[in-house]
Structure 1
Amino acid sequence: MSLGTGLALMGAALAAGFAAIGTSIGNGLVISKVMESMARQPELSGQLRTTMFIGVGLIEAVPIIAVVVSFLIIAQG
Structure 2
Amino acid sequence: MGAGIGVGLIGKGALESMARQPESSDDLRANMILAAALVEGVALFGIIICLLVVLG
TM-score normalized with structure 1 length: 0.68
Greater relative contact order structure (CA < 8 Å, 6+ sep)? 1
> Identity, % of aligned pairs?
38
Gaps of 5+ in 1: 1-20
Q: Which structure has the larger Rg?
A: 1
Taking the aligned partners of 2:31 and 2:41, their CA distance within structure 1 comes to 16
TM-score normalized with structure 2 length: 0.91
Alignment coverage as a number of residue pairs: 56
2:5 is aligned, of 25, 31, 50, to 25
Equivalent runs, 1:26-65 vs 2, <5 Å: 26-65=6-45
Alpha-carbon RMSD: 0.9
Equivalent runs, 1:59-74 vs 2, <5 Å: 59-74=39-54
- Runs of 4+ residues over 3 Å off in structure 1: none
Q: CA deviation at 1:57?
A: 0.7
Taking the aligned partners of 1:69 and 1:33, their CA distance within structure 2 comes to 30
